[in-house]
Chain A
Amino acid sequence: MTLTPKRPIWALSSWLFALALMAPVAVMIWSASSANHDTFLHLWQTVLPDYIINTLLLGGYVVLLVICFGVISAALVTRTNVYGRKMLRWLLLLPLAMPAYVIAYIYTDLFDYAGPVQRFLRDIFAWQSPQDYWFFDIRSLFGAALMIALVLFPYVYMLVRTAFECQDPQMIRAARSLGLNARQTFFKVSLPLARPAIAISASLVLMETLADFATVQYFAVNTLTTAIYDTWLEYGELSTANAIASVLLIFVLIVLVSEQRARAKQSHQVNSRQHIEHVYTLTGIEQIAASAFCWGLVVFGFLLPCGILLDMAWRYFDVEQFNTLLSSGLNSLEVSFYVASIASVLALLFVLFRRLSQVKLSALPLKISGLGYAIPGTVLAMAMLATFGPLDHVINDLAVQFGFNAPGLVLSGSAFAIVFALVTRFSAIANGTIASGVEQIPQSLDYAPASLGVGLWQTIRQVHIPLLKSSFVVAWLLVFVEAMKELPAVLVLRPFNFDTLSTHIYQMISDERLEQGAIGAILIVAFGLIPIVILNKKEKNH
């Protein structure tokens, strides 16, 4: 059925915006493919294999760790009487608000040779030098993986917990009545049923890991993202950076496909509104181990670093620092405001186009515009430079020809490129939120106004927009927060002397003086808590 057979403007604008969001990536791939083959060969013969191996190892470790953290904690919280179960249920989400590079800094401070933990151990056991004992080296590839996993495991925890909670209790009862005990039922029924959720969340984590820049950079682990950054900002080689970005994009694509496949499988899952009430009672020793595991994740993923940050902020408060923080904070607010507003309005356009026109392929603009979430910020930044750099030259040449002063890098050298990159990266969040909002509206409400003689624009204005108001606000807020937190894209694209909250903190971390930027880090964490609160609230309403 269709309500908009003759609305070319709508179709045109949907397609145009969706394709425009992805165009820079295409330009980047194209310019990388036309790059000098010698450069690429040289890269391949020197550093590229190492970068690729490091990237793969990092991804592999992180996925193993998050599955271990996330699945076990989800199982314990949903199926056992682990201590503090009700609180853990939402506390386990909090690490999501903590940027990995911040805890990397904090734990390096804490566990390094000169840090308080090793000092304490040396004092107690009278060790003299590093030769006397073995201690976990945090500044390593595995250390980086552990830091990333500690803050990303909540993705797995959240999706798998939901999968466990939505499983049909009848299925569990059926298994029990067929002679399986609680443990067997879990491993033979519940866990296999949660497989799609595990696969989806693990691929999401993998995408975030591939996108991570600051943690690996801080630990001096060379991955593809740091390579892009270094090649461009240190050596100024744009086409080489583009080439590396394209290689990274291939990995992302593989992960993206596996994620989409897992999602397709998820539709087989039966979602039940009934909740499983039966809980496995842990024995004494089991209870201790289970509680230590879950609470350990909460403490090391959130509470401890948060406490340390607060302590730093309290002890190292400094008015001058506070002023720079304020100005970078204002920049962050401004950029995030534009990103959130543009992404949400575009999402509304794409979602309503798909919903109301139902022409073949009308869902494509929504899909295309949502692909950006998989693309690492560094890659997007390169895409912006590859596209808007040449465009700026054209603009300048034209301006000079027409007798104006050359305006400079108006697109690639201003906040425009940052906003564009972030809209591309976070459109998926706005799309998803508004799309799920529109699914709550029964299809008949699209048709009812027409049967009452009311036209399409009026219908959208009076029915869809009012009904989507809360989804729109949530979408705006979620994108706003993500834009606040995003680091690598901004780091590459920011104009001279332009800092946002996240680049400011990154700078502080690079200079080994996060103590003075602790308030900024706390702010980032506080903003990061907003989506978690929203998620929790949404869930309660269901």
Chain B
Amino acid sequence: MKPILTIKNLSVLLQDKLILQDVELSLAEGDILGLVGPSGCGKTTLLNTIAGFVEQSRGEICIDDIHIGAGSHVPPERRQVGVIFQDYALFPHKTVGQNIAFGIQKLKKSEQDYRVAELLKLLALTELSERFPHQLSGGQQQRVAIARALAVRPKLLLLDEPFSNIDARLRDELMIELRSLLKSFNMSAIFVTHNKDEVFTFADKIALLHQGSIIQTGAPKAVFEQPASWQVADFLQIGSWLKVKSVGNSLFTALGEVNCEQLTDTPDSSIELLIKPKYLKLIEAEANCIVKHITFTEQGYHYILASLDKHCALSFERLSFYSEQLLAVGEKVAIHIIAHQYQIFVRE
């Protein structure tokens, strides 16, 4: 599939601060990319740079056949990139219909009417076309914003935290609806979120941004299974971290010895073992953990465990563990690590 967006070596300096550094990213036509990262990592700046609201300092952006270099700025109105703003940015003095027609005023009136009517129908807004934005619910406003962006037939759609203003109960439903709508248009899209669950529901591809650089991209499942670095695993909360100590070819944790081939030369103090909750189980043995906290979830009880031995170099405070069995806070239990392909990371 041909790429609709290619970003090479992109750096952005804002107020003498390097916000984005050597970002590399590409997106195939029709794909939906979820851009995640902790707040302040530069997600919104990256979106704004692609849209043209922020000028890049270095590197290049290609949107289909439009080439944007550091010295050759293309203003946002000539990039054919649609944006769904976090607050939707509907024009308060224009009706739903006028909002949707805003970007296509240069077209013939008949063509305008046709496109507006088509989008109103598609997004179930026909009844509301004469209303003003303040008369609409949050979900309806978002649909208007989407219709307005799609009316100009952009090559790429950018969505800034599109679900953050939506009621949690409606969010899943809306994500599924919006995804199938974008797919039906074969619309390429990038959306920003700090919620990993949204990525798994909405995106074909995930990109992790950390301190201004993309640290991993790929299919959500692949990234989840094979995180490329400590930050990726930590941000996606794939599992808990255990300190380790190597003795010869073996690694020791507070929960016993594990066999790991992936040994490095890095000193023990800076490496940590990633343990997914599914590789932990309760056994009948001498207790090594104590229950610190219990949360009830749909997947059973979620426990936060701490090591019994508090003063050893390998002791831990937060180990995530799921079980159907009810334990009490303060209860001492024996936990065993099920042998699997261990993943060790250098903590930075």
Please tell me if B271 contacts chain A, counting CB pairs below 8 Å.
no
Q: Which residue of A lies closest to B151 (CB)?
A: A452
* Complex alpha-carbon distance, A444 and B152, angstroms: 18
A455 touches B89 (CB 8 A): no
* Complex alpha-carbon distance, A3 and B52, angstroms: 9
Shortest Cβ distance from B311 into chain A, in angstroms? 42
Per-residue A-contact encoding for B44-61, CB less than 8 Å = 1, 0 else: 000010011111000000
Please tell me if A43 contacts chain B, counting CB pairs below 8 Å.
no
Chain A, 437-474, CB within 8 A of any chain B CB: 442, 444-445, 447-455, 462-463, 466-467
Chain B, 227-247, CB within 8 A of any chain A CB: none
B91 touches A445 (CB 8 A): yes
Q: What A residues does B102 contact at CB under 8 A?
A: 449, 452, 454, 462
* Complex alpha-carbon distance, A454 and B151, angstroms: 13
DSSP majority for the B interface?
A: loop
- Residue in A442, A444, A453, A463 whose beta carbon sits within 8 Å of that of B77 in the complex: A453
Per-residue A-contact encoding for B61-96, CB less than 8 Å = 1, 0 else: 000000000000101111011110111110111000
Q: What B residues does A463 contact at CB under 8 A?
A: 91
Q: What A residues does B93 contact at CB under 8 A?
A: 466-467
Per-residue A-contact encoding for B280-322, CB less than 8 Å = 1, 0 else: 0000000000000000000000000000000000000000000
Per-residue B-contact encoding for A1-17, CB less than 8 Å = 1, 0 else: 11101000000000000
Q: What B residues does A454 contact at CB under 8 A?
A: 77, 102-103, 105
Please tell me if B214 contacts chain A, counting CB pairs below 8 Å.
no
* Complex alpha-carbon distance, A3 and B76, angstroms: 8
A1 in contact with B54 given A444-B89, A445-B89, A447-B89 (CB within 8 Å)? yes
A450 touches B86 (CB 8 A): no
Q: What A residues does B158 contact at CB under 8 A?
A: 451
Per-residue A-contact encoding for B180-200, CB less than 8 Å = 1, 0 else: 000000000000000000000
A452 touches B89 (CB 8 A): no
Chain B, 145-189, CB within 8 A of any chain A CB: 148-149, 151-152, 154, 158
* Complex alpha-carbon distance, A462 and B75, angstroms: 19
Q: What B residues does A5 contact at CB under 8 A?
A: 55, 73
Q: What A residues does B149 contact at CB under 8 A?
A: 451-452
Q: What B residues does A444 contact at CB under 8 A?
A: 85-89
* Complex alpha-carbon distance, A276 and B165, angstroms: 30
Which of B55, B78, B85 has the largest count of A CB atoms less than 10 A from its CB? Answer: B85
Shortest Cβ distance from A54 into chain B, in angstroms? 49
Shortest Cβ distance from A14 into chain B, in angstroms? 20
B54 touches A447 (CB 8 A): no
Q: What B residues does A451 contact at CB under 8 A?
A: 51, 76-77, 81-83, 149, 154, 158
B51 touches A452 (CB 8 A): no
* Complex alpha-carbon distance, A466 and B83, angstroms: 22
Number of interface residues of A (CB under 8 A): 20
* Complex alpha-carbon distance, A448 and B158, angstroms: 12
* Complex alpha-carbon distance, A146 and B85, angstroms: 55
DSSP majority for the A interface?
A: helix
* Complex alpha-carbon distance, A450 and B80, angstroms: 9
Shortest Cβ distance from A192 into chain B, in angstroms? 35
- Residue in A447, A449, A452, A467 whose beta carbon sits within 8 Å of that of B92 in the complex: A467
* Complex alpha-carbon distance, A466 and B149, angstroms: 21
* Complex alpha-carbon distance, A467 and B77, angstroms: 21
Shortest Cβ distance from A128 into chain B, in angstroms? 74
Q: Which residue of A lies closest to B98 (CB)?
A: A462
Shortest Cβ distance from A3 into chain B, in angstroms? 7
Shortest Cβ distance from B242 into chain A, in angstroms? 44
- Residue in A449, A453, A467 whose beta carbon sits within 8 Å of that of B78 in the complex: A453
* Complex alpha-carbon distance, A452 and B77, angstroms: 6
Q: What A residues does B105 contact at CB under 8 A?
A: 454
Shortest Cβ distance from A202 into chain B, in angstroms? 36
Shortest Cβ distance from B301 into chain A, in angstroms? 37
Shortest Cβ distance from A439 into chain B, in angstroms? 14
B103 touches A453 (CB 8 A): yes
Shortest Cβ distance from A273 into chain B, in angstroms? 18
Q: Which residue of A lies closest to B93 (CB)?
A: A466
* Complex alpha-carbon distance, A69 and B70, angstroms: 61
- Residue in B52, B73, B83 whose beta carbon sits within 8 Å of that of A448 in the complex: B83
* Complex alpha-carbon distance, A449 and B102, angstroms: 8
B52 touches A450 (CB 8 A): yes
* Complex alpha-carbon distance, A451 and B84, angstroms: 9
B53 touches A442 (CB 8 A): no
* Complex alpha-carbon distance, A479 and B45, angstroms: 40
Q: Which residue of B lies closest to A447 (CB)?
A: B53
Q: What B residues does A442 contact at CB under 8 A?
A: 87, 89
Q: What A residues does B81 contact at CB under 8 A?
A: 451
* Complex alpha-carbon distance, A452 and B147, angstroms: 11
Q: What B residues does A447 contact at CB under 8 A?
A: 51, 53, 76, 83, 85, 89
Shortest Cβ distance from A472 into chain B, in angstroms? 14
A452 in contact with B85 given A1-B54, A445-B91 (CB within 8 Å)? no
30 A-B pairs with C-beta separation under 8 A: A1-B53, A2-B55, A5-B55, A442-B87, A444-B86, A444-B87, A445-B89, A447-B83, A447-B89, A448-B83, A450-B53, A450-B75, A450-B76, A451-B76, A451-B81, A451-B149, A451-B158, A452-B77, A452-B82, A452-B103, A452-B148, A452-B149, A452-B151, A453-B77, A454-B102, A454-B103, A455-B75, A462-B102, A466-B93, A467-B93
Task: Please give 15 more A-B residue pairs, beta carbons under 8 A apart, in addition to A1-B48, A442-B87, A448-B83.
Answer: A444-B87, A445-B89, A445-B91, A447-B76, A447-B83, A449-B102, A450-B76, A452-B77, A452-B149, A452-B151, A453-B78, A453-B152, A463-B91, A467-B92, A467-B93
Chain A to chain B: the 4 pairs with minimum beta-carbon distance, closest first: A452-B103, A444-B89, A450-B76, A451-B83
